[in-house]
Amino acid sequence: MTPEDFARFMAALSDGPEEAGRRYTRLHQKLVGFFKLKGIADPPGAADVTIDRAAVKVVGGAAVPDVERFCLGIARNICKERWRRERRESEIFRRFLDKLDDNADEEVERIERLLKPCFGRLSGEDQKLLRAYCQVPRGRARAEHRRRLAEEMRTSVLALRMRVTRLRSILTDCVKKSSNGG
Amino acid sequence: MRDENIVAYLLEELPAEEMERFEDECFAQEDWPAQLEQAEEDLIDDYLRGALTPAQRRHFKQNYLTTDARLERVRHAAALLHHVAEGEPVPAADVARPRAGQTWAARLRAFWSAQRAAAALAAAAVVVGGVWWLSRPSGRPPSAELALTLSHGDRAEGAQAARVKLPRDAAALRISLALPERAARAASYRVELETEGGEKRPLEVAGRDARSVAVVIPAAQLRRGQYALKLFAVEPGGAEQRISGSYFFTVE
């Protein structure tokens, strides 16, 4: 996409460049969330592809009254394309599944080995929080456990969950970096 | 947006139009809802802990575990849960920000709660129960406690059963089951309560650490008599393996 095409696409989002920039950022974040929810690899990359395709249509003169909804439609198509491609590689995929069922899942053990130092780099408070959060596994006991934890921390259950999700995300990124030799 | 709806969406238990409507609603919000990721984490944790219903487990495998990225998420969650389970249990009070003006009674309760976890780990087939008046958190009903080890005999062979007398106002019996060495690395556990009459009831696992699994049985479900608890190790793929032997106890 040329800079001129991109500018025309931004103009389709909003007349004002500042508002267009804000909408673009929001649209990109939503697409990342959507692809993540759909289990697509590299959600930011898939979001870029979606916007590129939408921009080509818009610049090409397609009537697009709602750019966000239009992008969602394209994102759904991209998911289908990726799934088709993944299913073509189903042989490898089935092996993954078999491995997951295996009692001695070497991959999980490998991740755990990488996870340990990552976990150790979290603050003592965050380590305790993760351990405590994961202690009561399910059902009403879990909900009650989280409510008590949030109460003890003088925060809301929603904020507590967000904090745990952020910590898990930090751990995942750290493991991936270690895995890539970073 | 309720977690149940998100789970139904992820497991593809909704009709196609509702799936699409769900996505439209998410997209129509000002920001992408953070709750989606949190509910997905819980779903994966539940799967790994064997806490999904049989239908959900089937849908999880057939409809959710369909991409490499999701498999990767499940693996990361499995590694984290295993790592966390290997550590010592952390009482909720330990995670809290220090509170100004905390009373001595509150500090005492926090202390007892930590001691209780340690005792449960160390005990072997010893009744440590009774009511822990000092340790009970305020506003919560008292409970009796037991710590049991695995017995390989059966009741007919006279296997030793720990005895417990439930105080009249006890709301529940909390039992800590010491894990045998070989079973300590399972992704999750399932526990079944068997009455003298052979009736079987699933129990909710209320917690676990590297060496034990805890269950809580409401006092209303317990009459005088002998009981056996059976433990099943659940692997990440959902396969279950019965841990041979039983945990016996008698309610007096």
- Chain B window 222-241: which residues touch A at a Cβ cutoff of 8 Å? 235-239
On whether any CB of chain A is under 8 Å from the CB of B55, the answer is no
Query: 3-state SS of B94-145?
Result: HHCCCCCCCCHHHHHHHHHHHHHHHHHHHCCCECCCCECCCCCCCCCCCEEE
B188 in contact with A at a CB cutoff of 8 Å? Answer: yes
**Chain-chain contact of B31 with A39 (C-beta, under 8 angstroms):** no
Give the pLDDT confidence of B44-77 residue by residue, as tens digits.
988 888 888 889 988 998 899 888 889 889 889 9
Q: What is the average pLDDT value for chain A, to the nearest integer? A: 85
Size of interface A-B (CB pairs under 8 A): 178
Rounded to 5 degrees, what are φ and ψ at B241? -135, 125
CB contact under 8 A, A137 and B207: yes
Residue B51 to residues A88, B72, B196, B206, Cα–Cα distance (Å): 32, 20, 26, 12
Mind listing the pLDDT tens digit for each residue in B190-200? 888 888 878 88
Name the range with the highest mean pLDDT among B18-27, B129-138, B194-203: B18-27
- Answer whether B36 sits within 8 Å of A152, measured CB to CB: no
Report the percentage of chain A scoring pLDDT > 90: 41
The per-residue pLDDT of chain B, averaged, comes to: 73
Across the interface, whether the CB atoms of B204 and A32 are under 8 A apart is answered: no
Quote ipTM for the complex: 0.74
Nearest-CA residue of chain B relative to A103?
A: B235
CA distance B126 to chain A (A): 24
Q: Which residues of B touch A33 (CB under 8 A)?
A: 26, 32-33, 36-37
Residues 59-98 of A with CB under 8 A from B: 68-69, 72, 76, 82-83, 86, 93, 96-97
- What is the average pLDDT across B172-178? 85
Query: What is the C-alpha radius of gyration for chain A, rounded to an integer number of angstroms?
Result: 21
Confidence of residue B154 (pLDDT cuts 50, 70, 90): low
Q: Per DSSP, what are the bridge partners of residue B241? A: B233
